[in-house]
Each structure stands twice: as C-alpha cells, then as structure tokens.
C-alpha cells in the first residue's frame, strides 16, 4: 500500500479508515492522539505518521494551542 501524502486525494477506503478517528474526535471534543484510537496502527500504515492522518481527517493539529489546552484540561 502506498502512503498518503498531503495534497493527495482521499479514496473512499481512506475515508472509511479515518472514520473511527473522526468519531473519537466527536466523543472527546478534540483531536485524538494515537493511543486513543482503536485502529491507529492501520491508520498509520496508510498515512505513515499521525500528523498526516489528522490532516487527512480534517481535524485540528495536535500541537495547536487549543488542542494542547483541551488535552491538559482533561488531565487535571
């Protein structure tokens, strides 16, 4: 399987693969980390790095100030 790169189009299979990640983001109210998504290994095998999967899913970057704040709030 060829790795997805930013700028590549998403296939229907890609959208299906990203769905658990997107659903987890709704559940958490923020972008999920790798450890929070059950099928993360399969997602990473297609998108190579989690940052690419986040980008492809249309979710905010994990290192954005808002996402960092939301994760820190959860840990308190």
Distance CA 25, CA 62 (A): 11
CA distances to 37, 76 from 22, in Å: 9, 24
Model pTM above 0.85: yes
Total Cβ atoms within 10 A of residue 46: 18
pLDDT(73) > 90 = no
Distance CA 26, CA 58 (A): 13
What digits encode the pLDDT tens for the residues 18-67? 999 999 999 999 999 999 999 899 999 999 999 999 999 999 999 999 99
């Amino acid at each position: 399987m060829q790795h997805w790169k930013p700028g590549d189009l998403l296939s229907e299979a890609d959208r299906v693969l990203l769905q658990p990640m997107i659903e987890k983001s709704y559940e958490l109210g923020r972008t999920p980390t790798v450890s929070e998504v059950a099928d993360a290994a399969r997602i990473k095998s297609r998108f190579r790095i989690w940052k690419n999967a986040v980008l492809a899913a249309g979710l905010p970057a994990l290192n954005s100030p808002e996402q960092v704040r939301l994760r820190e709030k959860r840990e308190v």
